[in-house]
Structure 1
Amino acid sequence: MARDTAGRGAQTKAVILRAARERFAAQGYERTTIRAVAGDAEIDPSMVMRYFGSKEKLFEAALAVDLRLPDLSAVPGGELPAALVRHFVDRWEGDPADDALLVLLRSAVTNEQAAERMREAFAAQVAPALAAAVGPERAGRVAGLVAAQLLGLGLTRYLLRLPAVTALSPQALVEGLAPALAATLGPARP
């Protein structure tokens, strides 16, 4: 019985987080309300408060970002740019409305907490992942430029929905952006 209750609790929490991510992605932090998230999740607002305590804590939970980067040291140097672009395109094509990174991107321009979380995510995840590919001395600088390109893709395709970018297939995105990323990364390692 306790296991069923815990399972239902986890399921309810997941439903709330999905609704929150969608709402924060669509409206940003300022315009999102607990009542609206609860309505989207088809639950009473008191349940949102029960699980998260406040709008700020709900936002914090919705912003938890795991970039799920592959082990880049295992990717041959010449394939690294396409692998990076493909990784982000694949995750965003799955369900961009529920992607914490896109919620974070939309929110970061108006909310300092989200901007700080974005900086932390890229510093803690992208730079170390790239260190194996480009060397630790260049990883921080290169990670910033890689982030600019990939977040630019996220912004133009999934948030602003620029027609010229949304019209491209995922493979065309990889083929179009991989050369730019290759220039950013520098000479391929053997």
Structure 2
Amino acid sequence: MTAVPREEVGTRLTAHLVDRWEHDDTLMALLRAAVTNPAAADRMRELFAAQIGPAVAALVEDRTETALRAGLVATQALGFALTRYVLRLPPVVALTRTEVVAWLGPTMQRYLTDERA
């Protein structure tokens, strides 16, 4: 993420996450299991902490906000994945990759780089 222009990190991260969800059956199985299985939920938290945490830490100016911002990124990523791939909510399933990135990218950008209100 440090090689990505700061104003593009939300879009790039969203695109990366969509690509992962679209092509990683193991990740999808883990998401499904995490809803009801504590061990799977622990593993999902570990994955996000290991992968999203460092990316967020590299971007935030106030290191005390790293965990909060990473958690907010996770709300978008996991909420989207659950809605699109598990619950299969038709309007969300119908979105193209480009549309998903256009809708979620700005929110991710805000979580990653904007100052708190």
Tell me if both proteins adopt one fold, taking TM over 0.5 as the criterion.
Answer: yes
- Within-5 A mapping of 1:102-113: 102-113=28-39
The unaligned stretches of length 5 or more in structure 1 are 1-71
2:54 to 106, 116, 128: 128
What SS does the corresponding residue of 2:58 show, helix, strand or coil?
A: helix
AA in 2 matched with 1:73:
T
- In 2, distance between residues paired with 1:102 and 1:148? 16
What SS does the corresponding residue of 1:134 show, helix, strand or coil?
A: coil
The answer for the alignment partner of 1:90 in structure 2 is: 19
Greater Cα offset, 129-138 or 104-113: 129-138
The answer for the alignment partner of 1:75 in structure 2 is: 4
AA in 2 matched with 1:164:
P
Deviating 4+ runs (over 3 angstroms):
none
**Deviation of residue 131 (structure 1)?**
0.8
Matched pairs, number: 114
The answer for the alignment partner of 2:91 in structure 1 is: 164
The answer for the alignment partner of 2:80 in structure 1 is: 153
AA in 1 matched with 2:32:
R
Higher-RCO chain (CA-CA 8 Å, sequence separation at least 6): 2
Pick the structure with greater CA Rg: 1
Deviation string 1:44-86 (CA, Å, 9 cap, x unpaired) is xxxxxxxxxxxxxxxxxxxxxxxxxxxx111111100000110
**Deviation of residue 93 (structure 1)?**
2.4
The unaligned stretches of length 5 or more in structure 2 are none
- In 2, distance between residues paired with 1:144 and 1:162? 23
User: What percent identity do the matched residue pairs reach?
Assistant: 51
RMSD, matched Cα: 1.6
AA in 1 matched with 2:78:
L
- Within-5 A mapping of 1:15-34: none
1:177 to 80, 104, 110: 104
AA in 2 matched with 1:90:
D
- In 1, distance between residues paired with 2:84 and 2:9? 22
- In 2, distance between residues paired with 1:126 and 1:150? 10
**Deviation of residue 183 (structure 1)?**
2.1
- In 2, distance between residues paired with 1:101 and 1:93? 10
TM-score (norm 2): 0.88
- In 2, distance between residues paired with 1:142 and 1:151? 14
AA in 2 matched with 1:187:
D
The answer for the alignment partner of 1:63 in structure 2 is: none
- In 2, distance between residues paired with 1:91 and 1:123? 16
Deviation string 1:139-183 (CA, Å, 9 cap, x unpaired) is 211000000101111111111111000111100000011111122
TM-score (norm 1): 0.56
